[in-house]
Amino acid sequence: MSSIAVIGAAGQLGTDLVRVLGSRALPVGRPAVDMSVAGSAEAWLDEHRPSAVINCTAYNLVDQAEKEPEAAIAVNGLAPRRMALWCAAANVPLVHISTDYVFGGAETPTRPLSEDDCPAPVSAYGTSKLVGEQFVRAICPRSLVVRTCGLYGLRPTRGKGNFVETMLRLSAERDELRVVNDQRCTPTCTWGLAEVVVELLDRQAWGLYHATDEGDCTWYEFTKEIVQLAARTTRVIPIESTELKQPAKRPTYSVLSSAKMQSVLGRLLPDWRTALAAHLDRRGIE
């Protein structure tokens, strides 16, 4: 595939996708393309005619989405629908990125979740992402939807950062960190995730895939590892989610199984501890 449009190229995953794709990447983002405006991406795609499209844009303000679900649906649900219509009409493959937050409802089992498990979002953000992935799968015959979890990378999300950056900053400022210990999932580094997304695309492995780093932890356990690897002395205290009084509910269990991806690629992503250590090496700790 000669030119692969990466929409949202300046985001965490977008940055690593552009790195992995090298000369095949056709990076774009705001202001050239605004996914909340109908016709904006289509006009750019008409002009550039890529051979594949990867959408890594998202409205990802999880708590804010409870107050403005229409804004989340516009970017996470309706824009992917338009991308799917454009790609289907142009006979171009579409890669779309989704989230473990499509799970979490009362019926969600507490064992690694497969692509066959029934989604049950508990937040406006999760619902908007589920709408987007379903439009893509229903409309675009050559689509690849990749659900992932807790992303962090070398280029943190603009205006929001990422969990690793936040904990590195806070652990330098405070003696004690209080972190939730009742949400179990698998934080995932965009460095390796970008590689498997491109491998799945190159193999034309259309369909729905889970792709995260291996193993699982709570955010408390993840923070303990960050603090230890950064050689900080900050105490990390486990708390319950209710203590944070966040507007949006989070899944208490959203560990994804990457077995289907492994069956296609013959490999898994690294364990979350290994991926985190490699990330901190690349990033450097002052």
Render the burial of 197-236: b for 16+ CB within 10 Å, e for the rest: bbbbbeeeebebbbbbbbebbbbbbbbbbbbebbebebeb
Cα dihedral sign for 113, 118, 124, 130?
A: positive
125 is catalytic: yes
Beta bridge partners of 152: 189
Measure CA of the first residue to CA of the last residue in the chain; give whole Å.
40
Please count the CA atoms within 13 angstroms of the CA of 10 that sit on its side-chain side: 9
Contact 18, 11 (CB under 8 A): no
Contact 16, 191 (CB under 8 A): yes
101, 125, 209, 220: which one is catalytic?
125
Q: How near is the Cβ of 175 to ligand NAP at its closest, in Å?
A: 27
Q: What token pair was written down for 64? A: 């804010």
Q: What token pair was written down for 199? A: 């491998």
Strands 4-7 and 25-28: parallel
Could you give the maximum distance between any two Cα atoms of the chain, in Å? 56
Distance CA 150, CA 203 (A): 25
By CB under 6 A, name the binding residues for ligand NAP: 8, 10-14, 29-30, 33-36, 56-60, 75, 97, 99, 129, 148-151, 157-158
Report the length, in residues, of the chain. Answer: 286
Between 13 and 139, CB nearer to ligand NAP: 13
Catalytic site residues?
Answer: 125
